């Protein structure tokens, strides 16, 4: 399943094609969790646009809905109502199998607790998504080593997770997120399990990837320092976006302002 096959069948809510620079569009997204007889609204009509090459932090107190939003936007979970499109492709109209294929093709994921298989080496963990997607072993190994080189971990490629530091494990997960050459990377608390020095090193690397490769990042974080490193901060409370503000890299927003205006977005 390739991107063109998704795009050929794609219809947006308005019936018109999206601006090519608008990589994420969410309109009126709702999500309710049912726990026994209790219904807990997690998202209550979220609207959000993200432009290609942005680095966006989603912040808010615990229970504000930020991780639920990331899960719904990325297709890890399904919204109850609303429209979600990635690169003009409607996740809302895909089957579970189609969403899984699309994530493998166009998205990368970084999680707080690494999710590395302990019996595999770093390079084996990184190449695993490619092998699952049907890439041949030789090509998968080559791309995995390139991804580890990209994050400065080539010399540790054949070490298992237990032999790696926390920062090295997170670099391995970032390499795994990059190995399929994604359009965008989702990161849920990427520095949450790291000391402050290592967290700064990881953020330095993510910012460099964003600036040099124009790779889109959407991060969920409690850490104000992490949020400040991003180009834009989206603040959530009670399942709604309550506001936005520029981070410490507003030049990344200015560089994309023409695309924002073409898409009809309000100026920051």
**Does the pLDDT at position 8 exceed 90?**
no
Sequence-ordered list of residues with C-beta below 8 angstroms from that of 185, at least 6 positions apart, any chain: 107, 108, 109, 110, 177, 178, 215, 216, 217, 218
pLDDT of 32 higher than 70: yes
Question: What residues have CB less than 8 Å from 50, skipping those under 6 apart?
Answer: 22, 23, 24, 56, 184, 216, 218
Average the pLDDT over 199-213 and give the result: 91
pLDDT for 188: 93
Listed by start position, the domains of the chain span 53-78+94-262
User: CA–CA separation, 122 vs 161, rounded Å?
Assistant: 7
CB neighbourhood size of 199 (10 A): 21
Q: pTM score, two decimals?
A: 0.84
∠ CA 160-166-170, rounded to 5°: 80
Name which residue leads in pLDDT, 107 or 262. Answer: 107
Per-residue pLDDT reduced to its tens digit, 117-166: 999 999 999 999 999 989 999 999 999 999 999 999 999 999 999 999 99
Distance between start and end Cα atoms, the chain: 37
Question: Where does residue 263 rank: exposed (0-12), middle (13-18), buried (19+ CB within 10 A)?
Answer: middle
User: Which CATH number among 3.40.50.300, 3.90.1300.10, 3.40.50.720, 3.30.300.30 corresponds to the domain 53-78+94-262?
Assistant: 3.40.50.300
> Strand, coil or helix: what is 25?
strand
Q: How confident is the model at residue 16 (pLDDT cuts 50, 70, 90)?
A: very low
């Amino acid at each position: 399943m390739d991107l063109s096959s998704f795009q050929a069948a794609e219809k947006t809510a308005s019936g018109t094609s999206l601006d090519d620079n608008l990589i994420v569009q969410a309109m009126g997204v709702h999500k309710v969790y049912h726990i026994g007889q209790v219904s807990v609204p997690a998202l209550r009509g979220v609207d959000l646009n993200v432009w290609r090459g942005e680095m966006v932090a989603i912040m808010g107190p615990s229970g504000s809905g930020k991780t639920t939003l990331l899960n719904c936007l990325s297709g890890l979970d399904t919204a109850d109502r609303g429209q979600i499109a990635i690169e003009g492709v409607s996740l809302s109209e895909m089957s579970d199998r189609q969403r899984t294929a699309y994530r493998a093709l166009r998205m990368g994921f970084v999680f707080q607790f690494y999710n590395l298989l302990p019996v595999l080496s770093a390079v084996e963990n990184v190449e695993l998504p490619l092998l699952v997607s049907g890439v041949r072993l030789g090509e998968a190994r080559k791309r995995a080593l390139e991804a580890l080189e990209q994050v400065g971990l080539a010399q540790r490629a054949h070490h298992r997770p237990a032999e790696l530091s926390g920062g090295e494990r997170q670099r391995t997960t970032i390499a795994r997120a990059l190995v399929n050459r994604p359009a965008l990377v989702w990161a849920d608390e990427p520095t949450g399990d790291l000391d402050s020095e290592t967290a700064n090193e990881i953020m330095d690397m993510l910012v460099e990837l964003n600036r040099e490769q124009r790779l889109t990042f959407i991060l969920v974080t409690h850490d104000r320092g992490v949020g400040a490193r991003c180009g834009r901060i989206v603040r959530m409370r009670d399942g709604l976006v309550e506001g936005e503000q520029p981070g410490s890299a507003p030049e990344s927003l200015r560089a994309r302002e023409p695309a924002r205006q073409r898409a009809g977005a309000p100026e920051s």
